[in-house]
Amino acid sequence: MNTLQKNLCRCFWASVVLLSFALPLQAQAGKTVRITLLQVNDVYQIAPVDRGKAGGLARLATLKKKIQAESPNTLFLLSGDTLSPSLASSVFKGEQMIAGWNAAGLDYAALGNHEFDFGDDILLARMRESKFTWLAANVVERKSGKSFGKMPPYVIREFEGIKVGIFGLLTTETETSSSPTKAVRFLPETATAARIVKELRRKGATVIIALTHLSMPADKAVAKAVKVDVIIGGHEHEIMQSLAGCAPIFKMGSDARTLGRIDLNISKTTRKLESMDYAALPVTDTVAEEPTVAAVAGEYEKKLSAELDKPVGNTTVMLDALQKTNRNQESNLGSYILDAFRQFTNADVALINGGSIRSNATYGPGAISKRDVISILPFETPIVKLEVTGAMLRAALEHGVSRVGIETEFGGFPQVSGLRFSYDARKAPGSRVTEVTVNGQPLNDKKTYSLAVGEYLAKGGDGYAMLKSAKHLITAEDAKVDAVILGNAIATAGTISPQTDGRIKRIDQ
């Protein structure tokens, strides 16, 4: 028995609660009612991801139908974040995701912070289009105090005489991390949960599910303060299981790569939760696509393809996205991209690996299309903001130039903004950077700076391990993706003419 199982057992003195991971169901026919919860969170793509190998709403729909056939009391839940960010959503404002979820038979969705990325009016329009129910008990109209978008504060579902209460919570950080208007108020999560659970109990709900889009620490705070039976969570993009109070907490990563299945086995006598079985089901290309949902996804893919060929702006100069340039020296496109990232995040400096500029092509002079933007930055990497020391930043630059002269095209070579640096490739790796200035001042190793960077590098990708310990000022969950930032920058400018300015200087040539 693992720690989570032991702690669950301690929570219930009247009966032993056992959480089984990917094991056969243990519900006793005739004595219990089984309610199956299917969970995903932070799903931004209607189509499969990872080059078609994982995810996809049509595959989720296939799994849902299969499970519902053997477990009729099934609820399909989304723990927030689906309308944004993605390249498709930059075109359709999340309309494609609602159409996909409607076709897939989603039952309930918690509001996520990214639901507000396009403002209140777009979110309200998407909510009206939804055939499923949105839940966020702590999101209200500031003036009236009424629930935002006429959402119910909770729902009570009855299965074979068992009343199950479900309510949603959204992180209050949405007020500053997304784009709601001042007309929206975000109530404290824990206090709201306490009020709602009390009302659900009064109305006869004996099993209570919190459908949340909170950080794990916030989920734990709710579980410790309020007695709920399970928290179906989101916001983090990793598969996570935890326990606080007497409530297990589950999160299923992102983009529907994994479908969580939680079976609640409820006593017909006491009408309380007796046991719980859990499995994390991989959503891979071995799962057939449900035809109706696949057709919806296909239609939006066709529409997207047509939209991608429309221009977003123009360039008066050739944009250099060639691999040999961006992996060895400053490029005009690399500098423009990094300036856009730094300005969008309001960071002191910005850095990405040249290998993330992928198309190995040039563009213009002339029109720049959305398809061009995607070809340049195809990975849809969130641009996060870190707090780093000057020493960490210096180490990052040293790593970035460490392979110059050793590898012809090192993908980790840095493109930068907000700083200028010189290096000497004749020196040993680790001691090549000869000068660094930030905003015209010498880099101070002990000073802290804000750094805009791709999530991939923030996690230590391409050898940038020195960034892994940095404090996040903008997390991946709150960030915009790289191609969207670049596309918006070009569209706002209308016409661009980026030039190199000597911000990266190799002194041994």
Phi, psi of 243 (to 5 degrees): -145, 135
Give the pair of three-digit tokens for residue 283.
């959503």
Write out the DSSP string of 312-379: EEEESS-EE--HHHHTTS--HHHHHHHHHHHHHHT-SEEEEEGGG-----EE-SEEEEHHHHHHHSTT
Q: Model confidence at 51, in pLDDT bands (50, 70, 90)?
A: confident
Q: How far apart are CA 200 and CA 232, in angstroms?
A: 17
- Identify the weakest region by mean pLDDT among 10-24, 93-107, 198-212, 470-484: 10-24
List 311's β-bridge partners, or say none.
Answer: 369
pLDDT of residue 491: 97
From the list 48, 405, 96, 420, the residue with the least C-alpha distance to 257 is: 48
Give the pair of three-digit tokens for residue 412.
């980790």
CA-CA distances (angstroms) from residue 172 to 35, 178, 186, 334? 30, 10, 5, 35
Mean pLDDT of the chain: 92
Average pLDDT over residues 331-338: 98
Which structural domain range is residue 328 located in? 310-506
Tell whether the model's pLDDT for residue 3 goes beyond 50. Answer: no
Kindly state whether residues 82 and 172 are assigned to the same domain.
yes
**pLDDT tens readout for residues 367-384:** 999 999 988 998 889 999
Q: What is the CATH number of the domain that holds 249?
A: 3.60.21.10
**pLDDT tens readout for residues 189-235:** 999 999 999 999 999 999 999 999 999 999 999 999 999 999 999 99
CA-CA distances (angstroms) from residue 249 to 22, 493, 499? 16, 45, 50
Residue type present at position 177: S
**What's CA 445's distance to the chain center, in Å?**
32
- Write the CB contacts of 192 (distance below 8 Å, at least 6 apart in sequence): 137, 138, 169
Kindly state whether residues 201 and 159 are assigned to the same domain.
yes
Tell whether the model's pLDDT for residue 27 goes beyond 80. Answer: no
Kindly state whether residues 57 and 125 are assigned to the same domain.
yes
Q: How far apart are CA 131 and CA 136, in angstroms?
A: 16
Kindly state whether residues 297 and 337 are assigned to the same domain.
no
The pTM assigned to this predicted structure is 0.79
From the list 463, 301, 309, 417, the residue with the least C-alpha distance to 373 is: 309
Kindly state whether residues 397 and 297 are assigned to the same domain.
no
Tell whether the model's pLDDT for residue 20 goes beyond 50. Answer: no
Phi, psi of 110 (to 5 degrees): -80, 145
Kindly state whether residues 197 and 338 are assigned to the same domain.
no
User: 303, 329, 359 — which closes off a domain?
Assistant: 303
Give the DSSP letter of residue 287. S
Average pLDDT over residues 307-323: 94
pLDDT of residue 176: 82
Average pLDDT over residues 83-96: 90
User: 303, 327, 360 — which closes off a domain?
Assistant: 303
Is residue 11 within 8 A of residue 248, CB to CB? The reply is: no
List 30's β-bridge partners, or say none.
Answer: none
Kindly state whether residues 186 and 329 are assigned to the same domain.
no
Kindly state whether residues 296 and 266 are assigned to the same domain.
yes
Between 177 and 489, residue with greater pLDDT: 489
Average pLDDT over residues 479-497: 96
Give the pair of three-digit tokens for residue 123.
């979110």
Number of domains in the chain: 2
In angstroms and rounded to an integer, the radius of gyration of the C-alpha atoms of the chain is 25
pLDDT of residue 18: 35
CB 188: neighbour CB atoms within 10 A?
A: 11
Share of the chain above pLDDT 70, in %: 94
**pLDDT tens readout for residues 393-405:** 999 999 999 999 8
Kindly state whether residues 291 and 317 are assigned to the same domain.
no
Q: How far apart are CA 190 and CA 206, in angstroms?
A: 20
Average pLDDT over residues 359-373: 92
Kindly state whether residues 235 and 332 are assigned to the same domain.
no
- 60-63's contacts with Cβ under 8 Å and 24+ in sequence apart are 60/104, 60/256, 60/259, 60/283, 60/293, 61/103, 61/104, 61/105, 61/289, 61/290, 61/292, 61/293, 62/287, 62/288, 62/289, 62/290, 63/38, 63/259, 63/281, 63/283, 63/287
Kindly state whether residues 352 and 279 are assigned to the same domain.
no
Is residue 386 within 8 A of residue 453, CB to CB? The reply is: yes
Between 221 and 176, residue with greater pLDDT: 221
Phi, psi of 105 (to 5 degrees): 85, 35
Give the DSSP letter of residue 148. G
Tell whether the model's pLDDT for residue 177 goes beyond 90. Answer: no
**Burial degree of 296 (CB within 10 A; 0-12, 13-18, 19+):** buried
From the list 489, 503, 496, the residue with the least C-alpha distance to 317 is: 496
Buried b (16+ CB within 10 A) or exposed e, 47-80: bbbeeeebbbbbbbbbbbeebbeebebbbbbbbb
Kindly state whether residues 73 and 189 are assigned to the same domain.
yes
Q: What is the CATH number of the domain that holds 453?
A: 3.90.780.10
Q: How far apart are the first and last CA of the chain?
A: 63
Query: What is the number of residues in the chain?
Result: 509
Average pLDDT over residues 15-19: 35
Is residue 373 within 8 A of residue 486, CB to CB? The reply is: yes
pLDDT of residue 86: 83
Q: To which residue do tokens 């009020």 refer?
A: 195
Q: How far apart are CA 301 and CA 86, in angstroms?
A: 13
Phi, psi of 312 (to 5 degrees): -105, -15
User: 269, 303, 337 — which closes off a domain?
Assistant: 303
